[in-house]
């Protein structure tokens, strides 16, 4: 039950962010649900690989390169989904930071 609640709350937040943030365009709520699912799959499969490959750069930048990795994951989701579009890398970076912050608050409240 907690998983479905987190999925639904994250989809609502993603929908609001997609309509509120400049440079992010989301077609509808079903696209927000699909975006949350695609981001979860990309974070589970691709993010660990990118973290290992980017470890030296992450150490040199004191962890700031992880923001770039998150933005790349969001750009991949943009490429995979037709209902979600970003205007560029900066929009992906802002969207990923905002989504991470709000999702961490939701995780603290739901858990």
Torsion of CA 69, 48, 50, 106, to 10 degrees: -10
Reported in sequence order, the residue ranges of 5-67 that DSSP labels E, i.e. its strands, are: 24-26
Structure tokens, 102: 């709000």
- Indicate whether 111 pLDDT > 80: no
Residue entry with tokens 């939701």? 106
| pLDDT at position 109 | 86
Of the pLDDT bands very low, low, confident and very high (cuts 50, 70, 90), residue 66 is very high
Q: What is the mean pLDDT of residues 73-99?
A: 95
Category of 15 on φ-ψ map: left (φ > 0), alpha (ψ -120 to 50) or beta: alpha
Annotated domain spans of the chain: 1-110
CA distance 72 to 15: 20
């Amino acid at each position: 039950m907690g998983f479905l609640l987190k999925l639904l709350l994250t989809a609502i937040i993603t929908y609001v962010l997609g309509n509120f943030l400049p440079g992010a365009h989301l077609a509808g709520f079903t696209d927000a649900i699909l975006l949350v699912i695609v981001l979860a799959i990309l974070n589970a499969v691709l993010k660990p690989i990118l973290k290992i490959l980017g470890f030296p750069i992450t150490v040199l930048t004191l962890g700031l390169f992880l923001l770039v990795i998150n933005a790349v994951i969001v750009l991949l989701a943009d490429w995979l989904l037709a209902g979600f579009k970003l205007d560029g890398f900066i929009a992906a970076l802002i969207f990923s930071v905002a989504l991470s912050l709000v999702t961490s608050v939701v995780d603290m409240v739901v858990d």
